[in-house]
Amino acid sequence: AQSVTQLGSHVSVSEGALVLLRCNYSSSVPPYLFWYVQYPNQGLQLLLKYTSAATLVKGINGFEAEFKKSETSFHLTKPSAHMSDAAEYFCAVVHYGGSQGNLIFGKGTKLSVKP
Amino acid sequence: NAGVTQTPKFQVLKTGQSMTLQCAQDMNHNSMYWYRQDPGMGLRLIYYSASEGTTDKGEVPNGYNVSRLNKREFSLRLESAAPSQTSVYFCASSERRGLVGEQFFGPGTRLTVL
């Protein structure tokens, strides 16, 4: 069965600092992976997705993620944090099996940005 | 183009009361989903509808029922609400249940059961 693990439920960075949010996946087949962002009191919106076309995926708002099969990781990065990046971030993997095609979400990482 | 809309935005129920959460999408998507979000738990799938006329259980279906009324609308019903169902509920839709299909989310319904 597929799963994702997000390391760190809370991450705090200073404005202008590097953002690194960690996601490790478990999958017996090549995975399809997503990062979603949730701003306070809103629904989720897609940041980026990995569908095996390229290992480095660029998303919206300057975020990118690199798929590393050897490390079973799909970490999200942004070179310079902005106050508007404060939100909760979810990693997700497509599930194979009985409910094939559905997403399985990690527990989320809340990002705080200090001025 | 409103995307995915949910009503109501907020609701307070007493234990044992029933209610229906409404969801509609205007993107002509085939698949729709209901999730619940609890602190530290991420999103968990309650029910989904791969296409009009079909519904299936997700990870946490107990205490809920759903209806795919037509291609646009997918409702979630709590027959006898319990405090454990206090949560934020999100509806989502996607073009199809597929390996790379992005899901689009509504703004959520915040439900409190006393």
Largest CA distance in chain B: 40
Query: Mind spelling out the 3-state secondary structure of A11-67?
Result: EEEECCCCEEEEEEEECCCCCCEEEEEECCCCCEEEEEEECCCCCEEECHHHCEEEE
Higher pLDDT, B104 or B97: B104
**What is the overall mean pLDDT for chain A?**
91
Tell me the pLDDT tens digit for each residue of B38-94: 988 889 999 999 888 899 999 999 999 999 989 999 999 999 999 999 999 999 998
Q: Which residues of A touch B102 (CB under 8 A)?
A: 34, 46, 49
Mean pLDDT of the region A57-79: 95
* Residue B28 pLDDT > 60: yes
As a whole-number percent, the residues of chain B with pLDDT over 90 amount to: 79
Residue A54 has pLDDT above 90, yes or no: no
CB contact under 8 A, A44 and B58: no
Asked whether residue A67 carries a pLDDT value surpassing 90, the answer given is: yes
Q: Is the pLDDT of residue A99 over 70?
A: no
Are A32 and B99 an interchain contact pair (Cβ–Cβ within 8 Å)? yes
pLDDT of B102 > 90? The answer is no
The pLDDT, as a whole number, for residue B86 is 97
Paired residues of A57 in beta bridges: A65
Is B58 in contact with A103 (Cβ distance < 8 A)? no
What number is the average pLDDT over the span B5-31? Answer: 95
> Nearest CA to CA, how far is B4 from chain A (Å)?
10
Which pLDDT score is estimated for A106?
Answer: 94
Q: Would you state the pLDDT for residue B99?
A: 54
CB-defined contacts A:B, below 8 A: 60
Question: Is A97 within 8 Å of A104 (Cβ atoms)?
Answer: no
Question: Which pLDDT belongs to residue A31?
Answer: 84
Q: Chain B partners of A44 at a C-beta cutoff of 8 Å? A: 43, 90, 92, 103, 105
